[in-house]
Amino acid sequence: MKELLLLLLPDEALPLIIAGLGIALILGIINRRVVFNLLGIVILFSLLSPFIDSLFESLPLWLLLLLSLGFAFSILKLVLNTVFGKEATGNFLGRVLFEIFALPFRCIGLLFRWRRRI
């Protein structure tokens, strides 16, 4: 999830992230392992950003929309996890995804039901 948030930040924010990680490490807010993991992600994204840009430009529109939908669900999960907790978020997203999956079948059922009435 942290990786997705780093994609939203401009390149000018990367030194601020590195400085913030250093300050958090000095103050003892996060441990050294977490800092090095996040620092590795920052460096990886800064090195791979030209390749990621060209990859997204070459993707077809339907795949880009599918990836955007997945990204939107990830952001929704992050927000709901923060507000309601892990269990409630899992329950809510499970129900939402079930309703999205069942929607085409319900539409087909409504079409057949409508044909019987006529």
Given pLDDT bands bounded at 50, 70 and 90, which one contains residue 5?
low
Hey, what's the torsion of the CAs at 40, 45, 47, 51, to 10 degrees? Answer: 150
- Taking the whole predicted model, whether its pTM rises above 0.85 is answered as no
> Which is more confidently placed, 81 or 10?
81
CA 7 to CA 10: how far, in whole Å? 8
Task: Give Cβ neighbours of residue 49 (< 8 Å, ≥ 6 apart).
Answer: 11
Please report which helix (H) or strand (E) contains residue 82, including its range.
helix 61-84
For the residues of 12-78, what is the DSSP string, one character each? GGHHHHHHHHHHHHHHTSS-HHHHHHHHHHHHHHHHHHHHHHHHHHHS-HHHHHHHHHHHHHHHHHH
For residue 95, the model assigns a pLDDT of 93
Residue pLDDT, tens place only, 72-114: 888 888 888 888 888 998 899 899 889 999 999 999 988 888 7
Residue pLDDT, tens place only, 31-68: 888 888 888 888 887 788 778 778 878 889 999 889 88
> Which is more confidently placed, 111 or 3?
111
